Structure 1
Amino acid sequence: MTMLQAGFEMEPFFLSGERGALFCVHLYPSHIAPKGGILYLHPFAEEMHKSRRMAALQARRFAAEGYAVLQVDLTGCGDSACDFGDATWETWLADARRAFAWLSAKATGPIILWGLRTGASLAVELASALPGIKRLILWQPVVNGEQYLNQFLRIKLASEMLSGNQAQSGTKDLRAKLEAGENIEVGGYMLGGAMARDLARVKLADIPSPCPVEWLEVGAEEGESASPASQRIVDAWRAAGVTVHTRTLSGEPFWVTQEITECPSLIEATTEAISRSI
């Protein structure tokens, strides 16, 4: 347990998961009861590592504002058990449920789900399956899993071309291999057929949030709306009766930049949003 000068404590630990131990970090205020709990769900593959600093900065800011925050490395990721290729979307949902149950038992007040990229998509599915979620904080959510999967597979094709070799196949061929049960290495990560299949079926248009949403994105210019692709989902959710606040902050896409990058305006906007949500 580590006492931090900002008035909160940080406790790393391992949580028992279905496939093995899940590494977690729990941050909470040191002198007051938490206003509520916030569960963070990280993005996919290398995006998780690129965004670790931003996630840590935001988690500490939340804790300094009086919230208990739980960050969990999902199965096959970070310091948790198994290899990336062993994980499935359903496994990650089960991990998130366990983390939610642990946080619910520890934190007083409402629970909020906060996710980045595929972690945001996972948060939407989790909220639809669990009662009592107060609000979702979605950072740059992946709205269409099939499109995201194809983009991820293009990393392999680009790597083959950069190495001086002609790409041996296209995304359609790679998808066929995955559907046949073959694992494929992409950017240092072994992608399994089950994960690819589960990821491809994720479509936020089909999963209206059951609770209010803070939808925050990073772009070239600031504004009160999301990107066109995201805005279509937001409009559909609003038509279904979901309260959605959208905002785009000026900054670099820190989850994919070559160097580790921060976006202070996103942290400020998210902290402002959380004060409105409780």
Structure 2
Amino acid sequence: MTAAQERLVSFESAGELLHGVIHEPLEETQQALVFCHPFAEEKKCAHRSMVEAARACAAAGWAVLRFDNRGCGDSPGCFEQYDLNDWRLDIESALECAARETSSAVGLLGLRLGATLAAEVAEDRPDVACLVLWEPIVDGERYIKQNLRRSIIKAMMTSHEGGGSGTTAAHTAGASGEGTVDFDGYSVGEAMREQLAEVNLLEPPPVYPRPVLVVALGAGEAMGEQLQRLADAYTMGTARAVRQEPIWQRIGVMDATPVISATVEWLRQQ
């Protein structure tokens, strides 16, 4: 392990200024990684774990750029103003920033929808040094249904506690594809839902030619069919199942050591 330092950085994407943090080793940098955060409430839940992962990678010799997409975190704009195409462009801009700031080859590490967007960006960027995909969203339509179902259940519970039936009705309408729906406090309109529904990392099959680590996080040691198929679809794909509490599901202190250790071990082998 080596010492590391952190510094703030800003860079432009489509004329807007994004903000991030660079974690870098004090000694020679092996390569660099851009971290791609998950969607909506999952980003908030996973923040601490992503910071810990960045520090661990920097201590292992990898520079890391963590940043917020437009409309998220410390970057400008409102969440509802942007879509998946905007955030793909933000990742591309972050790649350029990391390359400038570290003078290194740059890979991508993402969690959940951040992993999905990273994988999509890499399809058109063979210069991306490697991909680390933590529990990526493989099927966007399935992801929407899961989120809507969870939101409806929460709305029903709130209604029983005196929150009224209007919220439940709005979520039910959203489940049928109508109007704007609430994803844990984040408004998601029809256009965004249509983009999410089009996400499918298996169709067409990926052509990214460099090393890829696909990580499944859960209580067991099984990859799950979709994630195993995704890893197998890459020319240089590796599948890894990690016993790890889902770091994107709950705000609070979680021990992300298992997935961080597995990732650092894989990076050292590249």
TM-score (norm 2): 0.89
* Structure 1 residue aligned with 2:16: 20
Query: What are the ranges of 5 or more consecutive residues in structure 1 without an aligned counterpart?
Result: none
Distance 1:147 1:171, change over 3 A: farther
Cα distance in 1, alignment partners of residues 191 and 236 from structure 2: 33
Cα distance in 1, alignment partners of residues 16 and 113 from structure 2: 22
The Cα offsets for residues 115-137 of structure 1, whole Å up to 9 and x where unpaired, read as 00001100111101223112101
Query: Match of 1:149, SS?
Result: helix
Whichever residue aligns with residue 217 of structure 2, its letter is V
Query: Match of 1:104, SS?
Result: helix
* Structure 1 residue aligned with 2:33: 38
* Structure 2 residue aligned with 1:269: 262
Query: What are the ranges of 5 or more consecutive residues in structure 2 without an aligned counterpart?
Result: none
* Structure 2 residue aligned with 1:152: 147
Sequence identity (%) = 30
1:208 pairs, out of 206, 209, 215, with 206
The Cα offsets for residues 25-71 of structure 1, whole Å up to 9 and x where unpaired, read as 111112x2311110100001011111111111110011111111101
Is 2:32–2:63's contact at 8 Å kept on the other side of the alignment? yes
Distance 1:124 1:172, change over 3 A: farther
Measured after TM superposition, the shift of residue 227 of structure 1 is 1.4
Measured after TM superposition, the shift of residue 170 of structure 1 is 6.5
Task: Give me the CA root mean square deviation.
Answer: 2.1
Cα distance in 1, alignment partners of residues 15 and 190 from structure 2: 18
Cα distance in 2, alignment partners of residues 173 and 19 from structure 1: 33
Cα distance in 2, alignment partners of residues 58 and 255 from structure 1: 14
* Structure 2 residue aligned with 1:59: 54
Query: Match of 1:160, SS?
Result: helix
Measured after TM superposition, the shift of residue 13 of structure 1 is 2.7
Measured after TM superposition, the shift of residue 149 of structure 1 is 1.3
Q: Which contiguous aligned blocks of 4+ residues in structure 1 show a shift greater than 6 angstroms?
A: none
Cα distance in 2, alignment partners of residues 71 and 115 from structure 1: 10
Cα distance in 2, alignment partners of residues 161 and 153 from structure 1: 12
Residues 1:107 and 2:102 aligned together: yes
Whichever residue aligns with residue 269 of structure 2, its letter is R
Whichever residue aligns with residue 49 of structure 2, its letter is M
Residues 1:217 and 2:216 aligned together: yes
* Structure 2 residue aligned with 1:176: 177
* Structure 2 residue aligned with 1:83: 78
Map 1:226-237 onto structure 2 (within 5 A): 226-235=223-232, 237=233
Distance 1:71 1:258, change over 3 A: closer
Is 1:154–1:171's contact at 8 Å kept on the other side of the alignment? no
2:4 pairs, out of 4, 8, 19, with 8
Cα distance in 2, alignment partners of residues 175 and 108 from structure 1: 49
Distance 1:221 1:183, change over 3 A: closer
The Cα offsets for residues 72-102 of structure 1, whole Å up to 9 and x where unpaired, read as 1011111111111112000001111111111
TM-score (norm 1): 0.87
Residues 1:71 and 2:62 aligned together: no
Is 2:201–2:230's contact at 8 Å kept on the other side of the alignment? yes
Whichever residue aligns with residue 188 of structure 1, its letter is G
